[in-house]
């Protein structure tokens, strides 16, 4: 499902079509062998590492409230924009840039990092 393409100076991978992810929901996708949680909110698209650093819970199955996702296993919360843990700076997940071109959703092949 993924085909790499250069967009600006970063490589992006097609992961879904816009219609596959309703507003307010998430989808687990794979980018270069890495599980990514793709989120669609009213204000745009977000992508984080899908694996919670606490005990590996799937963030794509978590609860979305505002710009935060809560891990379904042990309730660790992460900012969708930065990947930062909302409880403090001792953990976080990588965040990825997302672009929409026509009906295609593309995720950067490399993370921005986390706060």
CA distance 63 to 71: 7
- Proportion of the chain above pLDDT 70, given as a percent: 89
Residue 59 has φ and ψ, to the nearest 5°, of -65, -25
Kindly state whether residue 83 falls inside one of the protein's structural domains: yes
Any idea what the Cα angle at residue 42 is, between residues 40 and 47, rounded to 5°? Answer: 30
- The Cβ of residue 77 has, within 10 Å, a number of other Cβ atoms equal to 15
How many structural domains comprise the chain?
1
Return the DSSP state at 94: -
Kindly state whether residue 114 falls inside one of the protein's structural domains: no
Kindly state whether residue 64 falls inside one of the protein's structural domains: yes
Nearest to 31 by CA among 67, 53, 64, 5: 5
Kindly state whether residue 97 falls inside one of the protein's structural domains: yes
Kindly state whether residue 51 falls inside one of the protein's structural domains: yes
Kindly state whether residue 113 falls inside one of the protein's structural domains: no
Domain that holds residue 77: 4-108
What pLDDT sits at residue 1? 37
pLDDT reading at 114 higher than 90 = no
38 contact partners, CB below 8 Å, separation of at least 6: 15, 16, 21, 26, 27, 28, 29, 45, 46, 47, 60, 98, 105, 107
Count of H-run helices and E-run strands, the chain: 0, 11
Kindly state whether residue 115 falls inside one of the protein's structural domains: no
Return the DSSP state at 30: E
The domain spanning residue 31 has which CATH number?
2.102.10.10
Given pLDDT bands bounded at 50, 70 and 90, which one contains residue 10? low
pLDDT reading at 11 higher than 60 = yes
Kindly state whether residue 53 falls inside one of the protein's structural domains: yes
- Proportion of the chain above pLDDT 90, given as a percent: 83
């Amino acid at each position: 499902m993924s085909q790499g393409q250069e967009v600006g100076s970063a490589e992006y991978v097609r992961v879904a079509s816009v219609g596959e992810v309703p507003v307010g929901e998430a989808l687990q996708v794979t980018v270069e062998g890495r599980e990514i949680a793709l989120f669609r909110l009213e204000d745009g698209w977000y992508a984080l590492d899908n694996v919670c650093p606490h005990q590996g819970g799937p963030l794509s199955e978590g609860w979305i409230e505002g710009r935060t996702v809560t891990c379904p296993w042990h309730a660790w919360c992460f900012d969708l924009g930065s990947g930062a843990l909302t409880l403090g700076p001792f953990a976080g997940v990588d965040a990825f840039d997302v672009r929409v071109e026509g009906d295609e959703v593309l995720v950067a092949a490399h993370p921005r990092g986390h706060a």
